[in-house]
Amino acid sequence: MTPSILIEVELNLLDYQESLKTVTDYLRFWEKLSVALQGVKLVEGKTHFLESPDKGRIGLQIISVPHGFSVVNKDSRFAVYSVLEKPALRYKCGICQMYGPFRCAGMNCEKRLCDKHAIILDGNMRAYCPDHVPKCKGSGANATFWCDGINCHGRVAWSDTYRIYHPNDPDHWYCPDCFALEFPACNEYGCQDTGTTRCEYVDEITGKSCERSLCNRHVRRWQIYGPHKLGAALCSRHANIKQYRVQEILYQMVAITTRQLQERQTRRRRVQQDFIALPSLMSIRHIFINTQNQVMNPVEIDRHLDDLEQKLRAMRGQFAQSMARLLDQSKSKRNRELESFDADQSQGLNIFNRLKEKLRLQGEDVVVANLNFSDYRPRTKLLFVYLAQQYRGRLIGKQGATIKRLEQELDVRIQFEDKEPTVQ
Ligand SMILES: [Zn+2]
Ligand SMILES: [Zn+2]
Ligand SMILES: [Zn+2]
Ligand SMILES: [Zn+2]
Ligand SMILES: [Zn+2]
């Protein structure tokens, strides 16, 4: 046998069902095939097909036939150059034999499933074959979702008739019992509405949240995270911020933020806002202006926060420690804020001194003696000053002429603070 008498072929097994894995499989396959080929006339460049009654079709693409050897007999010799075969599927769907990446999670069922035949309930990616679809706890029908509520913990399945959506978040749902537990009626007197929120006020002694359930109408929002974010939810008992002492306000801000961050981690409660952090010193300063009629220097607020951290470290209890950690983490940001505040303020003080100089030249020594610097915002060029009501007319001038001229000369706008400063 010389190479010149070999019939060169390519084997096409794309439509052949039997999968050939080992060399022995191939040899056995070829033995049968060569018997079936006897007497067949082969033509170069053509593909000959052989039908197997139960296993499909075999293709034989003829690359070359040596002269005088075109009809196959028992002495014909072949060289198989390549084999086209179906990609081997390691995981076949138990129903349709296509690729089955899923495995049925049913008890003792190992069935593989393709993405068409895998049944996946809302709320968890576990897949089931049609025989093992979880049944609805209420009706016994095929279930469609897992309840993530307090009773069910994502382990009990229900059908759609029993699904109640979260009032603020359409991506979450509960069974009726869990919904009633999660959202009891509003706690405010005489109100029967569904409580969609709970009071976030934290008791300083126990470290526990008030948790009174509140409907959308009765919830009070304390805007500690800025005007564009949802404020902290408070009930009528705890919403009177104006009565709180400075230390209490700071404690609540830190405690509420700590709890929100914790709940986000455990995902116990659906989070309604994307990002929260402790309010900045300047925001806290604003909160004090609004709730306490008190203008506080950011340095002073920062010192109060440091004191609070010390107090918390001395306390036992994990929650106090978490609060202390949050304060510690915010320290570097607070320092940066104080630095830029200092820079802004010294720029502001400069302008303020020039203002006083100009007033002195006009002979307004009384105004100068009563004028105090409050704040400067470089971006908006606003200069805030304190000046008792009775002197303001002298700084403003007839129809505002004096103040307008001064503003022009100094390239700022002058604003009067309503409240007197506290200790600076
Ligand atoms: Zn399938
Ligand atoms: Zn199954
Ligand atoms: Zn449930
Ligand atoms: Zn209500
Ligand atoms: Zn409350």
In a domain, 422, yes or no: no
Pairing of strands 102-103, 112-113: antiparallel
Q: Which ligand is nearest to the CA of 196?
A: 4
Cβ-Cβ contacts under 8 Å for 406 (sequence gap 6 or more) = 355, 358, 359, 395, 414
DSSP 96: T
CA of residue 111 to ligand 1 center, whole Å: 11
For residue 265, the CA-to-ligand 1 centroid distance in Å is 37
Is residue 77 domain-shared with residue 9, that is, in the same domain? yes
Q: Give the closest ligand to the alpha carbon of residue 133.
A: 2
Number of H helices, E strands in the chain: 9, 19
The CA 155 to ligand 1 mean position distance, Å, reads 26
Are 219 and 210 contacting, i.e. CB atoms less than 8 angstroms apart?
Answer: no
What is the C-alpha to C-alpha distance for residues 101 and 117, in angstroms, rounded to an integer? 11
Question: What one-character DSSP code corresponds to residue 53?
Answer: T
Q: How confident is the model at residue 16 (pLDDT cuts 50, 70, 90)?
A: confident
139 and 71, same structural domain?
A: no
In a domain, 30, yes or no: yes
Does some domain include residue 404? Answer: yes
Q: Is residue 65 part of a domain?
A: yes
Q: In Å, what is the CA distance from 320 to each residue of 110, 172, 255, 275?
A: 48, 31, 8, 22
**CB-CB contact of 406 with 398 (8 Å):** no
- Rounded mean pLDDT of 167-192? 89
pLDDT in tens, 191-204: 989 888 899 999 99
- Domain boundary residue among 17, 50, 85? 85
Task: Establish if 256 belongs to a structural domain.
Answer: no
| Residue 71 alpha carbon to ligand 2 centre in Å | 53
Encoded tokens for 185: 């009626």
240 is a domain residue: no
Q: What are the strands, taking DSSP E only, across 163-310?
A: 164-165, 173-174, 197-198, 213-214, 220-222, 232-234
Q: Are 378 and 341 in contact (CB under 8 A)?
A: no
User: Could you tell me if 62 and 130 lie in one domain?
Assistant: no
- Domain boundary, last residue among 120, 153, 175: 175
In a domain, 222, yes or no: no
* Domain final residue, candidates 85, 110, 136: 85
Main-chain dihedrals φ then ψ at residue 382, nearest 5 degrees: -105, 125
**Whether residue 270 has pLDDT greater than 70:** no
With cut-offs at 50, 70 and 90, classify the pLDDT of residue 421. Answer: low
Same structural domain, 108 and 49: no
Q: Are residues 108 and 67 in the same domain?
A: no
Q: Are residues 121 and 162 in the same domain?
A: yes
Q: Which residues pair with 38 in a beta bridge?
A: none
Mean per-residue pLDDT for 396-420? 90
Whose atoms come closest to the Cα of 98: which ligand? 1
Q: What proportion of the chain, given as a percentage, has pLDDT over 70?
A: 95
Distance 331 CA to ligand 1 centre (A): 56
CATH of the domain at 44: 3.10.330
Q: Are residues 107 and 62 in the same domain?
A: no
Cα 319 to middle of ligand 1, angstroms: 50
Contacts of 333 (CB under 8 A, 6+ apart): 280
Q: Is residue 35 part of a domain?
A: yes
Question: Cα(65) to centroid of ligand 5, in Å?
Answer: 92
Whether residue 227 has pLDDT greater than 80:
no
192 Cα–ligand 4 center, Å: 7
The mean pLDDT of 236-255, rounded to a whole number, is 94
Which residue from 74, 50, 54, 70 is spatially nearest to 62, judged by alpha carbons?
Answer: 70
Nearest to 356 by CA among 365, 345, 347: 365
pLDDT score for 269: 54
**Are 393 and 348 in a shared domain?**
yes
How many domains does the chain divide into?
Answer: 3
* Cα(225) to centroid(ligand 3), Å: 32
Which listed ligand is nearest to 151 at the C-alpha? 3
In this structure, are 78 and 138 located in the same domain?
no
- Parent domain of 162: 102-175
Cβ-based burial of 401 (10 A; exposed 0-12, middle 13-18, buried ≥19): exposed
What residues does 234 pair with on adjacent strands? Answer: 220
Give yes or no for a contact between 195 and 215, defined as CB atoms under 8 angstroms apart.
yes
Question: Which of 89, 142, 141, 101 has the alpha carbon at shortest distance from 125?
Answer: 101
Tens digit of each residue's pLDDT (9 = 90 or more) over 350-405: 999 999 999 999 999 999 999 998 888 888 899 989 898 899 999 999 999 999 99
